Amino acid sequence: MGFDLPLSLAESLNLVSWWKPVLFLFPLLAWAWAVSTVCDKHAAKYYLERERWNYIHCIAAFIALLAVLFMPPIGSGGEFTWIVSFLVFSGLLASSVLAYVTVANKDERVPENGKVSFELSKLASLVESKNPKKVKGKGGTSVLVFRRVDKSAVDVPAADSPDFEVRLAAEGMITRAVDIRATKFDLAPSNKENYQVVYYVDGVKTAGETFPAASGVKLIDFWKAAAKLDVADRRKKQSGDLTVERGSAKNKLHIDTQGGQSGQKLSVVFDPEQQVRKTAEQIGWTAEQTELIRGWSSSRGGVVLLAAPPESGRTTTLYTVMKMHDAYTNNVQTVEIELEDALEGIRQNKWDPQAEGPDFGTLVRSILRRDPDVVGIAQVPDPQTAKEIVKADPEKCRVYASIPADSAVGAVQAWVKLLGDPDAAAKSVHGVLAQKLIRKLCINCKQAYQPTPDILKKLGLPPDKVKQLFRKGGEVLVKNKPEQCPVCQGTGYLQREGIFEVFNVDDGAREMIRAQNWAGLKAELRKSALPSIQQAALRKAIEGFTSVEEVLRVTADPAATPKPAAQPGAAPAAAAPKQPAKPKA
């Protein structure tokens, strides 16, 4: 067998003609070009384990070479050996490039406009969706396709009509939002003359385009018409859904409009259900917190308060906790104003503020009377609702009540205030979860530094243990020139994560609630040795996930910020029950 190799080598390459080995150069050169000028540069730009990928490419090339060298004779006289070798060689080389493209395009660090695109994959996406990149309307040509819930496309107006300008401006808002990773944008009057777009990137507002009031109104009308809302009604709150397609990329849009004193306001949320869909493992609880919350889902009775400032993941947490209950052996329900995701097996009751019928508290009462095991209440808009909640069977029915507050103690305080009865409040509460969202540093551009003893002292961190912290960058060096970081678009941060405090309320804590001794309650809760929101945030900074500046921004002294009930968008504690603010992700 030892001398099989040179024989099969000669046969496999079938060296009768000079052009056959030369033919192998073509896939090899194409591969080398793709790896060095596309994959490697792309990996370097977006921080995608560049070295590991280069190993993978080299190994693929090595295997391709071995496959050719050890190719057994194929065909009766070995006449097909070279062609099979050629195909296997090319295929193996191509697979390493395709593997990179597939993995890189799914990576969260790569923005939509940074995806690798070969003619081949462009071709594939063209075949898969019959929508060409440009959409021809009655004359106008646009880049995006807006599709209604019934799948019909929104017509593109003629290029010379004034509506076409509006359409392009609307498309521009979507394109900009996707480019800067916004998850939401608003369009509202900024003063008497103008409307302004505000984009929300990782929960932080970024000012966008300004339009003269007349154009702003036309733009809002465009979105309303596209989502089949009543364009003529400029006062009532209206909601609708749309899908936007950009090439093969798709986003769901949820649209809200409402009239106000100074004009209409439009809000567009991207992929709302993606934003609230998290498992217990993904949401960011520590192991001890997860264990404690699992205890909630296996016990019965009592009220668990779920607290967060507005737009800080309250719906996500409510949904995650609800999904931890077995909805097949238990009667699990929710009461919500806006259904942000469909929860399997859970009956979601929607309360419509516009509709005639029972008010929120009455709906809650009628649901609690039907003997459910678990009820999640997306908000507690008024004292009446709170009073209905504490009437639930304390032994059997578990109620999760979501309220705007920025700490566990703050949540209990709000609960006592809603009920107007510290004794009833103390008796009812089984547990409290409070959360905030903190921005994660962009791993592509974050900068390490050695903290001074002063900073560490201010933060209450041991100086000997914390050798390094990180701050936001926003820029990267490309050929020794600073350029805006392509991963975070210069913000220095990339996505948000929850930071939590989670406590069970025991008899000691109940005593403090009865006495309305909030400092005492805080001390009681600390006894559990579980982290507070501040500690959870600092831990993220020590681990290098976030910056000290972000920790301070998020955990700023609540005394310095308006009280939760006074914040815009927060559910008013005792105000107009027909118009409670919408609970948000």
Interface residue list for Zn ion (CB under 5 A): 442, 444-445, 485, 487-488
Instruction: Check if the beta carbon of residue 239 is closer than 8 Å to that of residue 256.
Output: yes
CB of 546 to Zn ion, least distance (A): 13
Q: Which amino acid is at 355?
A: A
CA atoms within 13 A on the CB side of 442: 25
Residue 252: CB atoms within 10 A of its CB come to 16
**What is the rounded (10 degree) CA torsion for 456, 462, 464, 466?**
-60
CB closer to Zn ion out of 92 and 442: 442
Please tell me the distance from the alpha carbon of residue 351 to that of residue 364, in angstroms, as a whole number. Answer: 10
Instruction: Check if the beta carbon of residue 80 is closer than 8 Å to that of residue 74.
Output: yes
CB closer to Zn ion out of 408 and 488: 488
CA atoms within 13 A on the CB side of 218: 14
CB closer to Zn ion out of 326 and 549: 549
CB closer to Zn ion out of 187 and 445: 445
Does residue 455 sit in helix, strand or coil? helix
Tokens for 162, please give them.
């004034």
CB of 368 to Zn ion, least distance (A): 48
CB of 477 to Zn ion, least distance (A): 12
Please tell me the distance from the alpha carbon of residue 573 to that of residue 570, in angstroms, as a whole number. Answer: 9
CB of 487 to Zn ion, least distance (A): 4
CB of 24 to Zn ion, least distance (A): 41
CB closer to Zn ion out of 12 and 547: 547
CB of 492 to Zn ion, least distance (A): 6
What are the residues whose beta carbons fall under 8 Å from the beta carbon of 248, sequence distance 6 or more? 125, 128, 129
CA atoms within 13 A on the CB side of 397: 24
CB of 444 to Zn ion, least distance (A): 4
Q: Where are any strands of DSSP class E within 23-160?
A: 135-136, 141-142, 145-148
Instruction: Check if the beta carbon of residue 439 is closer than 8 Å to that of residue 203.
Output: yes
CB of 470 to Zn ion, least distance (A): 12
CB closer to Zn ion out of 349 and 495: 495
* Reduced 3-state DSSP string for 415-436: HHHHHCCHHHHHHHEEEEEEEE
CB of 50 to Zn ion, least distance (A): 16
CB closer to Zn ion out of 272 and 474: 474
Q: Which residue has the tokens 């329900």?
A: 333
CB of 501 to Zn ion, least distance (A): 29
What are the residues whose beta carbons fall under 8 Å from the beta carbon of 70, sequence distance 6 or more? 5, 8, 12
What are the residues whose beta carbons fall under 8 Å from the beta carbon of 55, sequence distance 6 or more? none
The gap between the terminal CA atoms of the chain, to the nearest Å, is 68
CB closer to Zn ion out of 440 and 540: 440
Rg (CA), the chain: 29
CB closer to Zn ion out of 487 and 536: 487
Instruction: Check if the beta carbon of residue 359 is closer than 8 Å to that of residue 337.
Output: no
CB closer to Zn ion out of 318 and 445: 445
CB of 555 to Zn ion, least distance (A): 23
CB closer to Zn ion out of 116 and 487: 487
DSSP 87: H
Q: Which amino acid is at 224?
A: K
